[in-house]
Amino acid sequence: QVQLVESGGGLVQAGGSLRLSCAASGRTFSSYAMGWFRQAPGKEREFVAAIWWSGGSTYYADSVKGRFTISRDNAKNTVYLQMNNLKPEDTADYYCGAALGATITNVYAYNYWGQGTQVTVSS
């Protein structure tokens, strides 16, 4: 069992930055791939970024590539999402997930989810 708690969301102007954190409980955190997804009102949850358990490989949605960076600290059971040059279209609830599935860019690979943190980017 893994429990996930996101933090770091908020209101920011376009061009600004935020860093989201996702703290995990459970001794098997390092066994899971971790990912960030987002969901805007009236839309489906969409992939943002993911990282394998070793931290050696990362994946990004095209819409955030070059602006967002995912990282993890297995010693702290935490995964981060550094978001730079934010745009109004980045406004959404952001969720972190823990995956045992292989296709970690797909929502169905994830076994556990946090409660989400809201990000609002004003123009």
pLDDT tens sequence across 7-23 = 999 999 999 999 999 99
pLDDT at 1 (0 to 100): 82
Q: Yes or no: say if 5 and 96 are a contact pair by the CB < 8 Å rule.
A: no
With bands split at pLDDT 50, 70 and 90, how would you rate the model's confidence at 101? confident
80 contacts 34 by C-beta, under 8 angstroms:
no
Mean pLDDT over the full length of the chain: 94
5 and 97 in contact (C-beta within 8 Å)? no
Rounded to a whole number of angstroms, the distance between the first and last alpha carbons of the chain is: 40
Share of the chain above pLDDT 90, in %: 85
